[in-house]
Amino acid sequence: MSARIKIFDTTLRDGEQTPGVSLNIQEKLEIARQLVKLGVDVIEAGFAIASPGDFMAVKTIAENVKGASIASLSRAVEKDIDRAWEALCHAESPRIHTFIATSDIHIKYKLKMSEEQVLERAVAMVKYAKKYCGDVEFSAEDASRTRTEFLYKVLEEVIKAGATVVNIPDTVGYASPEEFGLVIKGIKENVSGIDKTDISVHCHNDLGLAVANSLAAVRNGATQVECTINGLGERAGNASMEELIMGLQTRKDYYGEMAHNIKTKQIYRTSKLVSNLTGVALPPNKAIVGANAFAHESGIHQHGVLAEKSTYEIMTPESIGLSQNRMILGKLSGRHAFEERLKEMGYNLTAEEITRAFEKFKELADKKKTVTDRDIEALAGEKVSEVDEVYKLDSFQINSGNKVIATATVSMFKNGEPVMEAATGDGPVNAAFKAVERTVGFEMELQDYSLKGVTEGTDALGEATVRVMKDNKIYVGRGVSTDVIEASVKAYINAINRVVNDHGKGAADGRETI
């Protein structure tokens, strides 16, 4: 029989303690309803005595959200527990969650109490909460730094007092996975009555080990994990629910069959909702739900994933609610991924056309971090309609301003041989066009010139289109580049190559032919 893990979500309580985060009641209610869809077992809706707003949030969620236990945090103080119950009393399945610190440093400097006083308060407040509610959770704050013998004693006594869940927090993220796993193992082996309760853990991420510590605890007998969506929380945050669940799901070979109620296909939707409402953006490299979690840019990785997804994906994007992975086309991408993207976009190019388009793609990728589908459409359209490049742009230089005469120097290759000319004009584009004409030795009548952005952003790809007349015939040239002047020059040269091709290859060998 597989073990079962309960998920206690504290996004609305500890998660809201993230610096800069403040949710109103309607936002909390929306998140709570999504957490039910996700399948969490317990929703910690807030800290009822903390403020009137927190009280109303807990009360509203308790009255309106069904399908999960609703909990409110309270210190081991009568008035806190009274207030928690006042907020929770109409919940379908209420839970009072009371806590007191048990480590030497907290007892001495924060509580200024003795161990005996702490033990007495813990027991008395569990009994007090039990008068209101059958489901009472007790947390030994800073348990990971608590003297082992005292921790065992406190847990034994609160279980006798009626606690249904005992929580072992790594409050300041101090523990290491092996160490924390042994804490849970020791509790299971040494605390009388522990088999009658759930062992919960609440790990903070100060050393980046919250999820690792939680998984180690589960492996050693913990039956409930307290976590938040996207790992939100005090300081460096809490254990990330999505990382914890997908860790258990993906590594069943290591953790065994761990049953849970989480509907993993709701993970991405929940993550995005919490991110949007809290205003806390996810880092692109955030595990499971980050923008790059299922994105591949390296050519080697792309080739592997296209051949067999499991080569570089240990879980599927569909498993968390995404439709598919993403092939990020950039300077590290290979021809295989580029060719696959062209096919997906409906292009059926020859090997030669693909080769030319790929060369242009690589040139563009050196200028842009990410090449979008719209960029590729522009490149593919440019290459599909290409003619033999008798003339090919090498470089250009522009000097222009509102009080200087625009000057352009253009260097090109003519059948592989370098040629260069300079010219002045009414503006940078006009000067560049004249320099091109001087290079090829004939003029064309510009009928129309247009420039548009293909994509968004400061590194957007610009597409230039020119319509020219030569010998009473219209020719259209196109060029694309992140530099609008370069796109314009390339479009003009493209039109010239059409003229040359139309008049026969001999046209390129002498100016008098045209």
Q: Are 122 and 160 in contact (CB under 8 A)?
A: no
- Tell me phi and psi for residue 296, to 5 degrees: -130, 125
- Tell me phi and psi for residue 21, to 5 degrees: -100, 130
What are the b/e assignments for 130-168, b being 16+ CB within 10 Å?
bebbebbbbbbbbbbbbeeebbbbbbbbbbebbbbbbbb
CATH architecture of 391-513: 2-Layer Sandwich (3.30)
The predicted model gives 346-359 an average pLDDT of: 75
Token couple for 383: 């290459």
User: Residue 35 and residue 243: Cα distance in Å, rounded?
Assistant: 16
End-to-end CA distance of the chain: 86
Task: Identify the pLDDT of residue 511.
Answer: 42
What are the b/e assignments for 390-418, b being 16+ CB within 10 Å?
bbebeebebebeeeeebbbbbbbebeeee
Amino acid at site 125: M
Task: Identify the pLDDT of residue 111.
Answer: 96
Give 217-237 as a DSSP string.
Answer: HHHTT--EEEEBGGG--STT-
Could you tell me how many residues make up the chain?
514
Output the pTM of the full model. Answer: 0.69
Task: Identify the pLDDT of residue 454.
Answer: 60
Task: Identify the pLDDT of residue 481.
Answer: 84
Residue 1: pLDDT band with limits 50, 70, 90? very low
pLDDT at residue 504 is higher than 80: no
Task: Identify the pLDDT of residue 302.
Answer: 55
H/E stretch holding 408 = strand 404-414
Mean pLDDT of the chain, nearest integer? 87
Task: Identify the pLDDT of residue 325.
Answer: 53
CATH no. of 3-278? 3.20.20.70
Helix axes 78-88, 115-132, angle to 10 degrees: 30
pLDDT at residue 215 is higher than 60: yes
Q: Are 478 and 448 in contact (CB under 8 A)?
A: no
pLDDT at residue 32 is higher than 80: yes
Residue 386: pLDDT band with limits 50, 70, 90? low
Cβ-count burial of 51 within 10 angstroms (0-12 exposed, 13-18 middle, 19+ buried)? Answer: exposed
H/E stretch holding 165 = strand 165-170
Task: Identify the pLDDT of residue 373.
Answer: 61
Q: Which one of 119-133, 292-306, 446-460 scores highest in mean pLDDT?
A: 119-133
The predicted model gives 252-258 an average pLDDT of: 92
- Name 182's Cβ contacts closer than 8 Å, sequence gap at least 6: 220
Q: Which one of 18-32, 112-126, 305-319 scores highest in mean pLDDT?
A: 112-126
The predicted model gives 64-78 an average pLDDT of: 98
User: Residue 301 and residue 363: Cα distance in Å, rounded?
Assistant: 21
Task: Identify the pLDDT of residue 21.
Answer: 83
Helix axes 241-250, 210-219, angle to 10 degrees: 50
Which tens digits make up the pLDDT trace of 72-89? 999 999 999 999 999 999
Task: Identify the pLDDT of residue 509.
Answer: 44
Q: Are 230 and 207 in contact (CB under 8 A)?
A: no
Task: Identify the pLDDT of residue 317.
Answer: 79
Residue 2 exposure: Cα atoms within 13 Å on the Cβ side: 12
Q: Are 91 and 70 in contact (CB under 8 A)?
A: yes
pLDDT at residue 514 is higher than 50: no
For the chain, count helices (H), then strands (E). Answer: 17, 18
Task: Identify the pLDDT of residue 332.
Answer: 61
Residue 419: pLDDT band with limits 50, 70, 90? very high
Structure-model confidence comparison of residues 161 and 279, the more confident one: 161
Token couple for 249: 């799901």
Token couple for 84: 């928690």
- Name 404's Cβ contacts closer than 8 Å, sequence gap at least 6: none
- Name 305's Cβ contacts closer than 8 Å, sequence gap at least 6: 296, 311, 312, 313, 325, 327
pLDDT at residue 91 is higher than 80: yes
Task: Identify the pLDDT of residue 361.
Answer: 76
Token couple for 109: 């400097």
The predicted model gives 191-201 an average pLDDT of: 96
- Maximum CA extent, the chain: 107
Task: Identify the pLDDT of residue 354.
Answer: 79
Q: Which one of 124-133, 366-375, 436-445 scores highest in mean pLDDT?
A: 124-133
pLDDT at residue 370 is higher than 70: no
Share of the chain above pLDDT 70, in %: 84
Work out whether strand 391-401 and strand 404-414 pair parallel, antiparallel, or are unpaired: antiparallel
Strand partners, 329: 371
Token couple for 408: 């352009």
Q: Which one of 193-207, 294-308, 328-342, 454-468 scores highest in mean pLDDT?
A: 193-207
pLDDT at residue 211 is higher than 50: yes
The predicted model gives 231-256 an average pLDDT of: 95
User: Residue 134 and residue 131: Cα distance in Å, rounded?
Assistant: 8
pLDDT at residue 206 is higher than 90: yes
User: Residue 461 and residue 373: Cα distance in Å, rounded?
Assistant: 11
At 118 the three-state DSSP class reads helix
The predicted model gives 182-203 an average pLDDT of: 97
Which tens digits make up the pLDDT trace of 116-138? 999 999 999 999 999 999 999 99
Domain boundaries, the chain: 3-278, 295-384, 391-513
pLDDT at residue 269 is higher than 70: yes
Strand partners, 410: 396, 421
